[in-house]
Amino acid sequence: MNPLAALDDPILALATAPGRGAIGIVRISSPQPLDGLIEVLFGQVLQPRHAHYLPFRDAAGQCLDQGLALHFPAPHSATGEHVLELQAHGGPVLLELLLARCLEAAAASADGPGALPRLRLADPGEFTRRAWLNGKLDLAQAEAVADLIDASTEAAARSASRALAGVFSQGIASLRDRLVELRALVEATLDFPDEDIDFLEQARARPRLAVLEAELAALRARARQGVLLRDGLRVVLAGQPNVGKSSLLNALAGAERAIVTPIPGTTRDSISESLQIGGVPLHITDTAGLRSDEDTADEVERLGIARSWTAIAEADAVVFLRDLGRRGQPDYDAADARIAAGLAEAGARTVLEVWNKADLLDALPPEGPLSLSARSGAGLEILRQRLLQAAGAQPAGEGSFIARARHLDALAATAGHLAAARSLLDVSDAPLELLAEELRAAHDALGAITGHTTADELLGEIFGRFCIGK
């Protein structure tokens, strides 16, 4: 179904999670009034925005359940349309009967006032999409609805709530307002090319652009933090066999997630565990020990090593684990050197060199790379903090908000256009038409975040990932 072709259809969905529960909510949203449907369902008028406790009956008049009915006439509703919510007990069979009864009642109301003959089941995200279309939310706030539902940490949930409240959108709006002012100056200069007054110089266009770029840089830093809170950090534990990668995974997870033995090559495939540090989700992957094909005749282990290098290339951070007990042994050091070269060749973004098995020493080395003991837990807290630092994580304060990778892309595109505009301003005879075009492109890139300039394909991608009933 093409969502844009069905915007006038009344829609119906279960707004609570599938399965048994104390309460189940059936939600209807319609551009047309719901008076006819309400009359068929209840035989009475519902006072707007008041909870009515009454029986939910089938077509034969038999009581299915007792519950609450709430009517929100447009535009004072979550979607901006006419909304009806039925709150019943959360039995799956009962809720299916209520859905079927609403569809049946809509068909029965086809000949009366407020008829809803086209009432249908909603597509994923269709309620939130209508809220966006009717100006109840901008696109960044609409995405925050899904992020709030999917939040895996308290910090992510609070940041998503702030984004839903409009903290991120307000920052975008401030930038767009400044851009509009700057674009107006450039357009005025284009309209009056023969004037003696240099509009751009007198209006301090360069300082205005500098302030705009500074505000954009600050917003990008906060957005990067928001993406980290939403998506988390992908961390790979890498190193030679028997350096303690599986032991470190177990220590960080606080559970025996990986098998630990003194036999080299025990880990043959990637094992992942998700946890949180300081409110930031971390997805940690233990990989097969890295060694050359000449050092193993096991084909399964070779496949595991190949997967290790793939995981390393895709990771946000790599913990290069080394063995203090074998430090200084020529063969071991040479193999570690080959791994270090391989990490650079694989394009590992951030590499943390960590020495394990510090319990074999009388004391932790005071300087140099981090040393720890996965067995005793010494040094683990420092590693956690180093991982957060490597990710660029900042404390999730009152101004933090959730963000997505597409937002970072749009902000980066905006920064690129502003940098190009600054270069044109620095050239005395640069065509002002090019400057105006760069500013327009920057304005459009910002608009893509909140939905002012967004392709239909992107809208389908965004709202198609919502659950039914949102």
pLDDT at 459: 67
Residue-wise burial string across 256-290, b where 16 or more C-beta atoms lie within 10 A, e elsewhere: eebebeeeebbbbebbebebebbbbbbbbbbbbbb
**For the chain, which residues make up each domain, given as ranges?**
3-136, 149-228+404-451, 232-391
Rg of the chain over all Cα atoms, to the nearest angstrom: 29
* Residue 363 in this model has a pLDDT that exceeds 60: no
Mean pLDDT over residues 414-439, rounded? 88
Which of 129-143, 188-202, 247-261 comes out lowest in average pLDDT? Answer: 188-202
* Residue 457 in this model has a pLDDT that exceeds 70: no
Residues of each annotated binding site: 27, 85, 136, 242-247, 261-267, 286-289, 356-359, 373-375, 470
Mean pLDDT over residues 336-353, rounded? 88
Pairing between strand 271-277 and 233-238?
A: unpaired
More confident residue, 29 or 346: 29
Residue 101 pLDDT grade (very low, low, confident, very high; cuts 50, 70, 90): very high
Residue-wise burial string across 336-345, b where 16 or more C-beta atoms lie within 10 A, e elsewhere: beebeebbee
Residues of each annotated binding site for GTP: 242-247, 261-267, 286-289, 356-359, 373-375
Interatomic CA distance for residues 367 and 245, integer angstroms: 22
Token pair in block for residue 101: 């009864």
Residues of each annotated binding site for K(+): 242, 261, 263, 266
φ/ψ (deg, to 5) at 183: -65, -35
Mean pLDDT over residues 88-100, rounded? 95
pLDDT digits (tens, 9 = 90+) for 132-188: 999 999 999 999 988 888 888 888 888 889 998 889 999 999 999 999 888 888 877
pLDDT at 194: 54
Mean pLDDT over residues 75-85, rounded? 95
Q: Place domain 3-136 in its CATH homologous superfamily.
A: Probable tRNA modification gtpase trme; domain 1 (3.30.1360.120)
CATH for the stretch 149-228+404-451? 1.20.120.430
Mean pLDDT of the chain: 84
Residue 1 pLDDT grade (very low, low, confident, very high; cuts 50, 70, 90): very low
Pairing between strand 271-277 and 21-30?
A: unpaired
* Residue 115 in this model has a pLDDT that exceeds 70: no
Cα dist. 73→24, 31, 35 in Å?
22, 10, 10
Residues of each annotated binding site for (6S)-5-formyl-5,6,7,8-tetrahydrofolate: 27, 85, 136, 470
pLDDT at 69: 96
Mean pLDDT over residues 33-53, rounded? 93
Most confident of 12-21, 151-160, 279-288, 458-467: 12-21
SS3 423: helix
Most confident of 220-234, 376-390, 412-426: 412-426
φ/ψ (deg, to 5) at 432: -65, -20
SS3 369: coil
More confident residue, 68 or 158: 68
* Residue 213 in this model has a pLDDT that exceeds 90: yes
* Residue 303 in this model has a pLDDT that exceeds 60: yes
DSSP state of 199: H
CATH class of 232-391: alpha beta
pLDDT digits (tens, 9 = 90+) for 168-179: 999 999 999 999
* Residue 324 in this model has a pLDDT that exceeds 80: yes
pLDDT at 82: 96
Residue 3 pLDDT grade (very low, low, confident, very high; cuts 50, 70, 90): very low
**Which uninterrupted H or E stretch holds 215?**
helix 205-231
pLDDT digits (tens, 9 = 90+) for 429-455: 778 889 889 999 999 999 999 988 766
Most confident of 72-76, 165-169, 277-281, 328-332: 72-76
pLDDT at 4: 47
Residues in the chain: 470
Mean pLDDT over residues 257-277, rounded? 62
pLDDT at 113: 56
More confident residue, 459 or 185: 185
DSSP string over 271-316: EEEEEEETTEEEEEEE-PPP--GGG---HHHHHHHHHHHHHHHH-S
Residue 191 pLDDT grade (very low, low, confident, very high; cuts 50, 70, 90): low
Residue 158, judged by CB atoms within 10 A of its CB (0-12, 13-18, 19+), counts as buried
* Residue 233 in this model has a pLDDT that exceeds 60: yes
Q: CA-based angle 133:138:144, to the nearest 5?
A: 120
pLDDT at 176: 92
Residue 5 pLDDT grade (very low, low, confident, very high; cuts 50, 70, 90): very low
Which of 262-266, 274-278, 337-341, 462-466 comes out lowest in average pLDDT? Answer: 262-266
Task: Find out whether 223 and 407 touch, Cβ atoms under 8 Å.
Answer: yes
Mean pLDDT over residues 15-39, rounded? 92
Is the pTM here over 0.85, yes or no? no
